[in-house]
Structure 1
Amino acid sequence: MIEPAPSTYRDRSRVREDAQRRTLRVVVLAQVLGGAGLAAGVTVGALLAQDMLGSEDLAGVSTALFTLGSALAAYGVGRVSARSGRRIGLGVGFLAGALGALGVVVAAATGSVLLLFPALLVYGAGTATNLQARYAGTDLAAPQDRGRAISLALVSTTLGAVAGPNLVEPLGGLAETFGLPALSGPFLLAAVAYAAAGTVLVTLLRPDPLLLARRLAVAAADEQPGPEVDGDEAGVGTRGRAGRRLTGGAYAGATVMVITQVAMVAVMTMTPVHMRHHDHDLGQVGLVIGLHIAAMYLPSPLTGYLVDRLGRTPVAAAAGVVLLASGLVAALSPGESLPLVVLALALLGLGWNLGLIAGTALVVDSTTPAERPRVQGSIDVLVALSGATGGILSGMVVGASSYAALALGCGVLALLLIPTLRLAAGPRPSVPGARRRVERLRAEGRR
């Protein structure tokens, strides 16, 4: 049985490493299931809203609603996690997403727009929880391994997230056998997938990584810092033990995630509608979105490695450049060209991946276990609200102008994240910096 608060550094390291390995295994399993759930809204949400609302201009409302719901859920999951741990917070979030997906199915079956709106809001809880699960992988990770931990949580989403869009047609056929609209089929999958992910977390995420990290931090704080204190436990990251104010790194990380989310959601939301205008069928739409989601998650191990080795800010800057390239390809390529649409959406996903992992690492570096869930939840609220804004405005921009204008505008917007990285130039959240402070503490301990 794992001791809750071992008293020596070696014991704490052993407990931390054992619990971290188990945490990552459970998070990976939950993310595979959760990925299948989030793909439904991404793939057919705008098409379902367009059919039910009868207006292309309002097609982005679906993405806006479940993204707004994810904002509310991010705050709630953060608060519950801060009080009761990741296991309960994430488990409840996924189960709420399952209920929302079922509500969307009922709304589509009955043609009820009044039910569709709140159901999409609740469905957004699954999206928020799927993203917040990445934090569970970092609670017990050493500073130099945080990028890898984030990336492992994200890449495990790929299997379900890529499979979901490519099952649009068979799921549509399954829905029709039950007398349901074809576009409600992916939400049936989402309901089952989210419920399974929540059940996995509630039953298997033991010990709770956040609660254990807090106990280990308290044990380390009670011990006089000496030759065996590591950077994370000694509070030598971007904040000291007594520090209460967020550093520039946290603000920079939040800004990176917000800008990349706006650009990604806006273009992704209107791509299925754009493809339908150019006579692409549902199978092709599913292929494009599936490859887009693969690009969002599959490069995560490489991105995590680069974040840990090259640093957070260079990778975040690269995100802006890649998103600009995506906007240029989407704006300048003919809509009839499936390969170029695939390329544009793949670059869009890759840019989002670079920004999310680098931004998340900046935020984690700038917070302590005691404050982490509330800060992370609040930042994810901003990220989700920005996505909701992007979803709403995307339909309006395309209606007033064109898909090309939307894509190019989002690419230019992404470049704005590069100047904001100056915020991270304060207390640098790098591992070498932490190690230097640890060495200083060790030298003082020998005197």
Structure 2
Amino acid sequence: MATDLTTPVPAHPDVAPIQRRTLRLLLTTQIVGGIGVTIGIAVGALLAAEIAGTALAGLALSAAVVGGALLAVPVTRITNGHGRRPGLAFAYGVGTVGGTLIVLAAATRSIPLLFVGMLLFGGGSTANLQARYAAVDLAAPDRRARQLSLIVWATTIGAVAAPNFAALADRATRGWGLPALAGPFAFSAAAFVLAAGVLLLWLRPDPLLTARRLAAARSGDPGPAEAPPLPPGTDPAAPGPVSATGPASAPSPASATGPVSAPSPVVAAAEPVAAPAPPARRGAGMRAAWSVVRARPAARLGIAAVAMGHLVMVAVMTMAPVHLREYYAVEEVLPVVGLVLSLHIAGMYGLAPVVGWLADRSGRRPVILGGIGTLLAACAVTGTAGHHTLQLTVGLILLGLGWSATMVAGSTLLSESVPDPVRPSAQGLSDLVMGLAGALAGAVSGFVMQVAGYPVLSLLAAVAVAPLLALALRRAPVGAPDEKE
């Protein structure tokens, strides 16, 4: 088993309670933010059709997807400079502005305002996605995937509860004078404000800055101004100077360039370190992150797994309701679509902790390969389902499981395959690529569905997985330190 030598690993005894507190806060905000995001998805197309017409309804939702992807750039910049807490809060804040503009668009029936609002509303999705990376900043190496998967899993609660909140919010806001379908977006904006407030007030100490402080203490670097190094044996929340040649008995935090753990900095200096990555300054942007990712096979596989898994999932899932409409009357199709998509979402998020456990136990690459196989099986099942709703449902559940495997294992692999200075940028780059891949899949899938039908769409989605399969099967370099085999 190759050992990751490039990621700061908490050896300090007081890091564990900080990590537990961080996970609790992230779970809470994922549930609240997930409700806000899913409410928008549930009624967004209906509101867009009401204001702009059916032809533009799909484009309005695509605007939210593209907006969420593009927002990863400024969120990454903020995270690099100031930590996870302001980055996540900023993303939720942008989503709040978007939800407010959508309410105004509904009141004024303004199509341009609607599209701007949907573009900014994607900030909620950006925050929900970026939160999973905050879960691994201080995670132990053998628990990274599991703790990341818990944050992914928390979205299930919001996704299940959101449709009920949508109807409730719509009825409750009618008395405020808001037009139909505008109330859920007002509720979304309030949920985003609550999530941002919780993070700003209680996500302290910041997990990313704490991880950097631990790495700086090990290397003797004074570290970022916001987070001075830790003194041995003290709370990581309390900054203070640390000597690079401190006593051998003091617990030693891990470094971005050192081994996983060591009894003292003196011993650590004699141990092997990771192969040097391309030079990058702390807080480097996505261009520097891309140069690092290109030089690391495991990082490339991580980004590719997340992006391609998302592309296949979006392409096949978005056209499933249209496919079902071919076999059901208008009054019958909505309940069927609701049940089928609910089971699909359960496949996406419900077993995420199991996927995380497998990724920690068996390795990231085997789980990615399992996800690829599941995606291929899903495409085969959905493409041959025809009018058999049960078979289509099974295929969509498999599609969700394949997405979960590539998302959890790919995100974890990327996070531990790049050095500390560019880690947030590489994670932002991954979310940007994933979001654009999903937007492309959504746009192309409608055209393919209209021209060739659902079976051909499923076949093309399976073909799209082939490059990822080839990348995952490529043998890692001997002694590569940047992935857990």
Q: Output the TM-score relative to the length of structure 2.
A: 0.78
Answer yes or no: is the 8 Å Cα contact 2:352–2:404 preserved in 1: yes
Q: Separation in 1 of the partners of 2:350 and 2:320? A: 21
CA 1:242–1:413 in structure 2 vs 1: closer, same or farther (change >3 Å)? closer
CA 1:414–1:111 in structure 2 vs 1: closer, same or farther (change >3 Å)? farther
Q: Separation in 2 of the partners of 1:381 and 1:177? A: 40
2:258 is aligned to 235
Q: Separation in 1 of the partners of 2:373 and 2:397? A: 14
1:36-95 deviation digits (Å, cap 9, x = unpaired): 122134334344444544345x55323321111111111111110111110000011112
1:269-289 deviation digits (Å, cap 9, x = unpaired): 333444455334545444433
Moved more, 208-217 or 268-277: 268-277
Q: Offset of 1:240 from its aligned partner?
A: 3.3
Q: Offset of 1:170 from its aligned partner?
A: 4.5
2:320 is aligned to 271
Q: Separation in 1 of the partners of 2:337 and 2:458? A: 17
CA 1:122–1:165 in structure 2 vs 1: closer, same or farther (change >3 Å)? same
Superposed counterparts of 1:369-380, under 5 Å: 369-380=420-431
CA 1:203–1:75 in structure 2 vs 1: closer, same or farther (change >3 Å)? same
Q: Offset of 1:178 from its aligned partner?
A: 5.4
- Pick from 290, 295, 305: which aligns with 2:357? 305
Answer yes or no: is the 8 Å Cα contact 2:217–2:253 preserved in 1: no
Q: Separation in 1 of the partners of 2:207 and 2:184? A: 32
2:199 is aligned to 201
Q: Separation in 1 of the partners of 2:103 and 2:321? A: 20
Q: Separation in 2 of the partners of 1:116 and 1:265? A: 23
Q: Separation in 1 of the partners of 2:462 and 2:374? A: 9
CA 1:408–1:44 in structure 2 vs 1: closer, same or farther (change >3 Å)? farther
Secondary structure (helix, strand or coil) at the match of 1:371 reads helix
2:375 is aligned to 323
CA 1:343–1:42 in structure 2 vs 1: closer, same or farther (change >3 Å)? farther
Answer yes or no: is the 8 Å Cα contact 1:168–1:282 preserved in 2: no
1:332 is aligned to 384
Q: Separation in 2 of the partners of 1:374 and 1:121? A: 22
Q: Offset of 1:335 from its aligned partner?
A: 5.0
1:31 is aligned to 30
Q: Offset of 1:340 from its aligned partner?
A: 3.9
Secondary structure (helix, strand or coil) at the match of 1:352 reads helix
Superposed counterparts of 1:155-166, under 5 Å: 155-166=153-164
CA 1:54–1:296 in structure 2 vs 1: closer, same or farther (change >3 Å)? same
Q: Separation in 1 of the partners of 2:309 and 2:9? A: 40
Q: Output the TM-score relative to the length of structure 1.
A: 0.85
Q: Offset of 1:24 from its aligned partner?
A: 0.7
Percent identity reads 39
Answer yes or no: is the 8 Å Cα contact 2:33–2:158 preserved in 1: yes
Q: CA RMSD of the aligned region, Å?
A: 3.0
The higher radius of gyration belongs to: 2
1:201-233 deviation digits (Å, cap 9, x = unpaired): 111100000001000001112335979757666
1:160-187 deviation digits (Å, cap 9, x = unpaired): 1221135554455456565656544543
Answer yes or no: is the 8 Å Cα contact 2:9–2:254 preserved in 1: no
Q: Separation in 2 of the partners of 1:114 and 1:428? A: 50
Q: Offset of 1:316 from its aligned partner?
A: 0.8
CA 1:77–1:327 in structure 2 vs 1: closer, same or farther (change >3 Å)? same
Superposed counterparts of 1:378-417, under 5 Å: 378-417=429-468
Structure 2 residue runs without a partner (length 5+): 1-7, 221-243, 261-271, 279-291
1:261 is aligned to 310
Q: Offset of 1:17 from its aligned partner?
A: 1.3
- Pick from 76, 79, 85: which aligns with 2:77? 79
Q: Separation in 1 of the partners of 2:258 and 2:128? A: 28
Moved more, 213-222 or 156-165: 156-165
Q: Separation in 2 of the partners of 1:70 and 1:182? A: 25
- Pick from 370, 383, 393: which aligns with 1:342? 393
| 2:415 paired with 1:364 | yes
1:72-122 deviation digits (Å, cap 9, x = unpaired): 111111110111110000011112112212322332343322112111110
CA 1:274–1:51 in structure 2 vs 1: closer, same or farther (change >3 Å)? farther
Q: Offset of 1:394 from its aligned partner?
A: 2.1
Moved more, 202-211 or 192-201: 192-201
1:444 is aligned to none
- Pick from 297, 314, 318: which aligns with 1:248? 297
Q: Separation in 2 of the partners of 1:114 and 1:363? A: 38
Answer yes or no: is the 8 Å Cα contact 2:214–2:253 preserved in 1: no
Q: Offset of 1:365 from its aligned partner?
A: 1.2
CA 1:54–1:408 in structure 2 vs 1: closer, same or farther (change >3 Å)? farther
Superposed counterparts of 1:41-190, under 5 Å: 41-55=40-54, 58-174=56-172, 182-190=180-188
Moved more, 89-98 or 230-239: 230-239
Q: Offset of 1:298 from its aligned partner?
A: 1.5
Secondary structure (helix, strand or coil) at the match of 1:139 reads coil
1:18 is aligned to 17
Q: Separation in 1 of the partners of 2:381 and 2:307? A: 22
2:226 is aligned to none
Q: Separation in 1 of the partners of 2:315 and 2:182? A: 22
